Structure 1
Amino acid sequence: MDKRQRADLFRRRLQEAMAHKNMTKSGLARGAQVDRSTIGQLLKDDHPRLPNAQLAADAAQVLGVSTDWLLGLTNRPETPGDIVAAALSLSPAERSSADDQLLAWHHEAAGYKVRHVPATLPDILKTERMMDWEYASCRERRLPETLDAQKSQLDWLTSGVSDYEIALPLHEVDACAAGTAYYAGANRDMRRAQLAFIADQCDLLFPRLRIFLFDAHKVFSAPVTVFGPNLAVIYVGQCYLAFREIERVRSLSNHFDWLVREAVVDARQVAQYIRGRNEH
């Protein structure tokens, strides 16, 4: 791009940014601390001119855009800090599935496939007795809200708005069946009812709901959810790491594909496997 082309692009982007901010030449001049005539010269289309570095930076700051965008070095008008903030955000995470942010992400993904690696058994498929047992130790119990949220998510799933894929470690099902690890101390009848419910939902909702079991000795995943092509979220305990940059979302989606490819129990056999473990 030669100097005249870059100057012309600068002029057009400056006009666009001013129109977006509803800012006059006088307003921009005051903000950038230059004469109004200086701004007028930059906006003339008969003799396009480029500003010096100081004026370009000041104008960009006043207009809330990046200097690189004004100068034609990038096609994204956001400042670098805004781009990073939009691509990666940190959100507080509730202990339960009643988390408003989590519910909002599910609704945002309407029409797209949701792909989920849960921290334990998937909340969307937990029974009331299992949730009551899980949240018994919480200082502030939100069981009624949690149950309502779980029902809303299950209704959302059964409505067919979005397909839902879950990759689950094999040991999670085995531990629930045996009452070991996370499920140590849980009532046997409650555990059996929980696994029976998951198996029934696998049969009832297939192929909208597909669960794949992987061997954590061979592959590993942190809790992660991919909400369609535009958002991926990693759960780290007290907060979520939310990614909106397309390459990061694609990378986490590829990670989920890897879990599916390495699954030792395919979605068509999961209900049978769970019922088999439940009989021991």
Structure 2
Amino acid sequence: MDKRERADVFRIRLTEAMVRRAVSKSALARMASVDRSTIGQLLKDDLPRLPNAQLAADVADALGVSTDWLLGLTNRPETPGDIVAAAMSLSPAERISADEQLLEWHHEAAGYKVRHVPASLPDILKTERMLNWEYAAFEGKRLPEAFAAMQKQLAWLASGVSDYEIAIPVHEMEACATGTAYYSGVDKSVRAEQLNFIADQCDEMFPRLRIFLFDAHRVFSSPVTVFGPNLAVVYVGQCYLAFREVERVRSLTNHFDWLVREATVDARHVSSYIRSLID
């Protein structure tokens, strides 16, 4: 980009930022500690002028945009700090599926495929009796709220707004079937009902709902959800680590696709496999 072209870009973007912020020439001059005529010269289209580094930085700071954007070096008007903050953020995570943040992200992903690796069995497919067992130790008895949220999410999935892919370690299903590990102490009828419910949903909603089972001895994943192409969230316990930068989201999407490719039980056969565990 030659000097005149860059000066034109600077003038156009400076004007755009001033309009967006409703800042006049006089106001910008005061904020940047320069004469009004100096700002006027920057905005003249018949005599394009580039500011010195100090002035460029001052007007960018006053308007809340980056100097690089004003100079045509990037198409992102945000400051570098704002870009980083938008690309990755921490959000408090509740234990229950009624978490408002989770519900908001699901609605944000309407029309896109959602890819999900749960921490245990997927909340969206849990029965009321299984939730009752899980939340028995929680104060405040959040079961009605959690179950209502689960039903709402299931109805959302059944509506066909988005496709839903879930990758689960095989040992999670096996532990539920045998009442070991996390499911130690859960009544056999509760576990059988839970697995039958997942198998039924797989049959009824395939291919809108696809579950893949992978061998954790060969591949591994932390709990993660990819909400379409613009958001990926890693669950770390007390908080969610949310990524909105395109390359990071694509990396986690590729990670999920790797789990699918390495799956030992394909989505077409998951329901029959689950029923064989019950038997």
When normalised by structure 2's length, the TM-score is: 0.98
Shift in Å, 1:139: 2.8
Shift in Å, 1:151: 0.3
Match of 2:256 in 1: 256
Q: Deviations over 1:104-144 (max 9, x none)?
A: 11111111111100000000000001001001112333111
Q: CA–CA distance in 1 between the matches of 2:185 and 2:37?
A: 78
Alignment of 1:269 with 2:269, yes or no, is: yes
CA RMSD of aligned residues (A): 0.9
Q: Deviations over 1:123-179 (max 9, x none)?
A: 000000100100111233311111110000000111111111100000000000111
Letter in structure 2 aligned against 1:271: S
Q: Deviations over 1:243-280 (max 9, x none)?
A: 1111111111111111011000011111111111111x
When normalised by structure 1's length, the TM-score is: 0.98
Shift in Å, 1:198: 0.7
Letter in structure 2 aligned against 1:263: A
Match of 2:213 in 1: 213
Match of 1:25 in 2: 25
Match of 2:225 in 1: 225
Shift in Å, 1:75: 1.3
Q: CA–CA distance in 1 between the matches of 2:47 and 2:209?
A: 62
Q: Describe how 1:1-280 pairs up with structure 2 within 5 A.
A: 1-279=1-279
Letter in structure 1 aligned against 2:113: K
Shift in Å, 1:230: 1.1
Q: CA–CA distance in 2 between the matches of 1:211 and 1:235?
A: 19
Q: Deviations over 1:22-55 (max 9, x none)?
A: 1110010011111111111111122211111111
> Is the partner of 2:168 in helix, strand or coil?
strand
Letter in structure 1 aligned against 2:120: T
Q: CA–CA distance in 2 between the matches of 1:122 and 1:197?
A: 12
Give the fraction of aligned pairs with identical amino acids, expressed as a percent: 76
Question: Which aligned runs of 4 or more in structure 1 are off by greater than 3 angstroms?
Answer: none
Q: CA–CA distance in 1 between the matches of 2:168 and 2:244?
A: 24
Q: Deviations over 1:53-85 (max 9, x none)?
A: 111111001111001111111111111111111
Unaligned 5+ segments in structure 2 are none
Letter in structure 1 aligned against 2:72: G
Q: CA–CA distance in 1 between the matches of 2:261 and 2:62?
A: 51
Q: CA–CA distance in 2 between the matches of 1:236 and 1:124?
A: 19
> Is the partner of 1:260 in helix, strand or coil?
helix
> Is the partner of 2:90 in helix, strand or coil?
strand
| Aligned residue pair count | 279
Shift in Å, 1:225: 0.6
